[in-house]
């Protein structure tokens, strides 16, 4: 089976991580993948992992979403390579991939990763265009969670949306010495409690709420450290807020890292302040790493984070977030029990193998319908 996997960008992100892991896993299952990106830049780690799996990477950049020349080039490439199937991820890829697949005569499976759109100019228009294109040009539509599917169902009409939750691999364990060393690096002192969050510095992640919550926690207890992993358009704004609140000694923004699993294993609590989500890959990774969760009630998070493994609070409420973090910081044994339960749940329901099996079964079913 020859599959073209199309994604908006190969920079660091949850969807990109899923693409890389899928390509790496199916290379051993007689599925030949080519990854197509619409941005010229890419994270070196992603490129290395894709290429080490024997997959090709192609880029079709343009300054405009609806660049007819790019669409024509993409259609010609898909036809020339004679792909059996196209799988798209994220809005631009869903729009252009579905159109190109239709005119190239190749069935398209499109994946929805989030419940809504950002607030940047034209975002709502792009979301609506995406839903119209999916409704009429995708042969199958996949959502990463039930809440994501429900958020788009009205605009998709009678189209069936298959729900396939994201999956993550079990991390390799780190030694006590490695953990201690990492804690010194990110917290300055291995004995300080480490609260960690992973994600783009974007409006949807609610990092301003996170910083305000941590400032409240810091007034009650100066020991914990907040570590945020990621980059994005709001990075400088969040750094400025940290400085204004005089939290530089207790909040560490690490930027992009390729050792996220190790950082999670070196931490004590995982926190999410998002205003909008689907099913965050980083959340599942934190559960796999055995961390208790404090998260906002958005997307499929409340379906995943049960009371046994974490605390759910409403979005846009820093004070409630601070209370939940304080609850776990002040009760380390409770946090450890929750973390152990989180790892068991992740292993049972969100393993990489389960996710791969569901997707490859969908591929085979889709090809069977297309040929029939």
pLDDT tens digits for range 8-22: 999 988 999 999 999
Give the model's pLDDT for residue 30.
86
d(CA 129, CA 120): 15
For CA atoms 137, 357, 349, 210, the dihedral sign is negative
d(CA 224, CA 274): 21
Per DSSP, 140 falls in state E
Q: Evaluate whether 2-167+351-371 and 176-349 have a shared fold.
A: yes
Please, which residues have CB within 8 angstroms of residue 234's CB and are 6 or more apart in sequence? 201, 202, 203, 207
* Dihedral of the alpha carbons of 343, 347, 351, 357, in degrees to the nearest 10: -170
- Which residue in 284, 347, 339, 296 sits closest to 14, CA to CA? 284
pLDDT band at 265 (very low <50, low <70, confident <90, very high): very high
Give the model's pLDDT for residue 32.
95
Residues 142-153: tens digit of each pLDDT: 999 999 999 999
Tell me the average pLDDT of the chain. Answer: 95
Give the model's pLDDT for residue 62.
96
Domain boundaries along the sequence of the chain: 2-167+351-371, 176-349
Q: Which two tokens stand for residue 286?
A: 């934190």
Residues 80-139: tens digit of each pLDDT: 999 999 999 999 999 999 999 999 999 999 999 988 766 555 778 898 899 999 999 999
Superfamily holding 2-167+351-371? Glycogen Phosphorylase B; (3.40.50.2000)
| 161 torsion bin: left (phi>0), alpha (psi -120 to 50), beta (else) | beta
Give the model's pLDDT for residue 315.
97
Pick the CATH number of 176-349 from 3.10.20.30, 3.20.20.70, 1.10.10.1150, 3.40.50.2000: 3.40.50.2000
d(CA 56, CA 202): 30
Residue 355 in this model has a pLDDT that exceeds 90: yes
Give the model's pLDDT for residue 115.
85
d(CA 82, CA 105): 10
Give the model's pLDDT for residue 125.
86
Judging by DSSP bridges, how do beta strands 85-89 and 56-59 pair with one another? unpaired
């Amino acid at each position: 089976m020859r599959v073209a996997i199309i994604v908006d960008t190969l920079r660091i992100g949850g969807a990109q991580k899923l693409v890389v892991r899928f390509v790496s896993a199916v290379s051993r299952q007689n599925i030949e993948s080519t990854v197509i990106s619409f941005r010229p830049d890419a994270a070196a780690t992603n490129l290395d992992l894709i290429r080490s799996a024997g997959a090709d990477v192609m880029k079709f950049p343009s300054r405009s979403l609806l660049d007819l020349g790019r669409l024509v080039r993409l259609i010609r490439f898909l036809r020339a390579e004679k792909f059996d199937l196209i799988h798209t991820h994220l809005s631009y890829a869903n729009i252009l991939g579905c159109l190109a697949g239709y005119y190239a005569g190749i069935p398209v499976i499109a994946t929805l990763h989030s419940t809504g759109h950002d607030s940047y100019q034209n975002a709502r228009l792009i979301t609506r265009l995406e839903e119209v294109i999916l409704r009429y040009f995708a042969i199958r539509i996949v959502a990463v969670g039930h809440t994501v599917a429900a958020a788009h169902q009205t605009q998709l009409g009678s189209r069936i949306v298959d729900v396939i939750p994201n999956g993550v691999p079990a991390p390799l364990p780190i030694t006590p010495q490695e953990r201690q060393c990492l804690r010194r690096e990110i917290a300055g002192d291995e004995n300080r409690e480490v609260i960690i969050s992973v994600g783009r510095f974007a409006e949807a992640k609610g990092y301003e709420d996170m910083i305000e919550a941590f400032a409240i926690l810091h007034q009650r207890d100066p020991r914990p450290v907040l570590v945020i992993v990621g980059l994005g358009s709001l990075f400088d704004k969040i750094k400025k807020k940290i400085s204004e609140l005089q939290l530089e000694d207790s909040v560490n923004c690490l930027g992009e890292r390729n050792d996220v699993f190790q950082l999670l294993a070196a931490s004590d609590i995982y926190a999410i302040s998002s205003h909008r989500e689907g099913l965050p890959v980083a959340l599942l990774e934190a559960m796999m790493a055995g961390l208790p969760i404090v998260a906002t009630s958005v997307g499929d998070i409340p379906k995943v984070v049960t009371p046994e493994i974490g605390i759910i609070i409403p979005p846009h409420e820093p004070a409630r977030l601070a209370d939940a973090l304080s609850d776990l910081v002040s009760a380390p044994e409770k946090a450890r029990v929750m973390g152990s339960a989180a790892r068991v749940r992740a292993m049972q329901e969100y393993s990489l193998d389960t996710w791969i099996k569901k997707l490859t079964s969908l591929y085979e079913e889709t090809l069977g319908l297309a040929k029939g």
